[in-house]
Amino acid sequence: MAMETKSCQQLHIFFLPFMARGHSIPLTDIAKLFSSHGARCTIVTTPLNAPLFSKATQRGEIELVLIKFPSAEAGLPQDCESADLITTQDMLGKFVKATFLIEPHFEKILDEHRPHCLVADAFFTWATDVAAKFRIPRLYFHGTGFFALCASLSVMMYQPHSNLSSDSESFVIPNLPDEIKMTRSQLPVFPDESEFMKMLKASIEIEERSYGVIVNSFYELEPAYANHYRKVFGRKAWHIGPVSFCNKAIEDKAERGSIKSSTAEKHECLKWLDSKKPRSVVYVSFGSMVRFADSQLLEIATGLEASGQDFIWVVKKEKKEVEEWLPEGFEKRMDGKGLIIRDWAPQVLILEHEAIGAFVTHCGWNSILEAVSAGVPMITWPVFGEQFYNEKLVTEIHRIGVPVGSEKWAFSFVDVNAETEGRVRREAIEEAVTRIMVGDEAVETRSRVKELGENARRAVEEGGSSFLDLSALVGELNDLAFGGLVE
């Protein structure tokens, strides 16, 4: 009987996260979820990324296998093992090259360990063929939601922006359940021959040949798009999120994604929040990669001060004697009103704190899901990736956030908005902060996101939509591994 077989054989899954924290964090959570459903889970990562997984390995939830990252061979600095450290377009190309160069080494590792299944990030297009060599299923992980998956597939397939007269002219994304308008300036128009574009195209074609797609989302958040992705685009997909809910202990939430652990500093900001009234603080953070130019940071500082609201602002900058990106006397004037966190903030804990009233976000998918899960309304400020699509889900489909007016896709993660064009002005920031924090519209927005947050929590509880989809996937993988169904 199948049940008897399962009790003596354990499903072993290998995970290959893309080396960027926005991808590694949710895939670690996913590995932990599979582990809680009885699977043995192994993450393959590079030495410098290993600390990201130490909590889960110490507790025996996951195992780790190290692979050398070919930084030097790809022309990168020796210690550049994470996309968070990319500072130029040229480095991006080299980083992509390095992710291809690890293929033979990864193949050796698979040969040694012979797991039953491979879950690999979408950036590792080669992983489907490697998995096929070992006759195991390869599952895709894109790190984004159904809405953005559908929107980007439609744009790639139909190219609705190709005959526009200007970057600011709007077009409707074809063949989606809702009428969604975009402009060309909000899209990544990479040259066709670029490494990045080649990789994106290959990814779509290879995805179709893969076993299926794991999506960090929940059905109730984007039902029309979860259906569309499966029925219209024909993808086999499982929604199993929000996966951040698998972190239950405060320490797990505090350490999530952190490489240098300075727990004291993390708790400092929570103590600061304890002293604030409910829903009175704006949390401002742009994920793990975006680095704004000083001129843009100055606009943010001035806009926040003008709004009169308390804030926590995460700025990825070392502390200096003179901070040129801050207005004169800013830190003194904001003492007690605003807190600047350098490096890494315990985002999930901050968002869950009752003092938080709104989140200024770059619309990274993890950040959006974490805000929804905590019932926090957003000010949307997309920068790159699929963030402009994510913004539409927040501001137009669910109306759980207001746009700050960011209109230009950034080709570099550093020095973003250094040029005047595309820079978001202080007045726009002040206006959006006031709109999301004060008045009737703010109350209605909050109530909508609270309701979605409750749905999110229910989705991952036993019997919820995400719980059931994960159970179904684990069952199917067990059948493939032990039921003799793999071709």
Contact predicate 329/347, CB 8 Å: no
The interface mask with ligand UDP, positions 369-408, x = CB under 6 A, is -x--------------------------------------
- Residue 343 CB, nearest distance to ligand UDP (Å)? 7
Conformation bin of residue 388: beta by default, left when phi > 0, alpha when psi is -120 to 50: alpha
Considering only residues 348 through 367, tell me which ones interact with ligand UDP, judged by CB under 6 A. 348, 364-367
Residue 193 DSSP SS3: coil
Size of the chain, expressed as the number of residues it contains:
487
- Residue 385 CB, nearest distance to ligand UDP (Å)? 7
Identified binder of ligand UDP from the candidate list 31, 243, 314, 374, rule CB under 6 A: 314
CA distance 77 to 65: 23
Annotated catalytic residue within 29, 84, 121, 310: 121
Using rule CB under 6 A, residue 347 touches ligand UDP: yes
Q: Which is closer to ligand UDP, CB of 288 or CB of 302?
A: 288
| Residues 6+ away with beta carbon under 8 Å from 363 | 378, 380, 381, 382, 383, 387, 388, 390, 391, 394
Q: Which residue minimizes CB distance to ligand UDP? A: 22
- Residue 113 CB, nearest distance to ligand UDP (Å)? 28
Contact predicate 117/477, CB 8 Å: yes
CA distance 240 to 117: 17
Q: Which is closer to ligand UDP, CB of 136 or CB of 400?
A: 400
The count of chain residues that interact with ligand UDP, using the rule CB under 6 A, is 19
The CA-based angle 479-480-486, given to 5 degrees, is 145
Q: Which is closer to ligand UDP, CB of 137 or CB of 145?
A: 145
CA distance 223 to 242: 14
| Residue 23 annotated among the catalytic residues of the structure | yes
Q: How far is CA 52 from the centre of its chain?
A: 15
Nearest to 45 by CA among 30, 26, 22, 28: 28
The interface mask with ligand UDP, positions 412-441, x = CB under 6 A, is ------------------------------
Q: Which is closer to ligand UDP, CB of 29 or CB of 61?
A: 29
Contact predicate 47/66, CB 8 Å: yes
Using rule CB under 6 A, residue 24 touches ligand UDP: no
| Residue 121 annotated among the catalytic residues of the structure | yes
Residue with tokens 């229910």: 458
CA distance 347 to 225: 27
Sign of CA dihedral 389, 390, 393, 395: negative
- Residue 424 CB, nearest distance to ligand UDP (Å)? 17
- Residue 364 CB, nearest distance to ligand UDP (Å)? 2
Considering only residues 253 through 312, tell me which ones interact with ligand UDP, judged by CB under 6 A. 256-257, 285, 287-289
Using rule CB under 6 A, residue 345 touches ligand UDP: yes
Q: Which is closer to ligand UDP, CB of 22 or CB of 70?
A: 22
Stretch that binds ligand UDP, among 21-29, 41-49, 70-78, 206-214 (CB under 6 A): 21-29
Identified binder of ligand UDP from the candidate list 106, 140, 225, 344, rule CB under 6 A: 344
Q: Which is closer to ligand UDP, CB of 125 or CB of 144?
A: 144
Q: Which is closer to ligand UDP, CB of 367 or CB of 466?
A: 367
| Residues 6+ away with beta carbon under 8 Å from 175 | 154, 158, 232
Nearest to 195 by CA among 91, 298, 96, 274: 96
| Residues 6+ away with beta carbon under 8 Å from 88 | 412, 414
Judged by the rule CB under 6 A, the positions of this chain that interact with ligand UDP are 21-22, 25, 256-257, 285, 287-289, 314, 344-345, 347-348, 364-367, 370
Active site residues: 23, 121
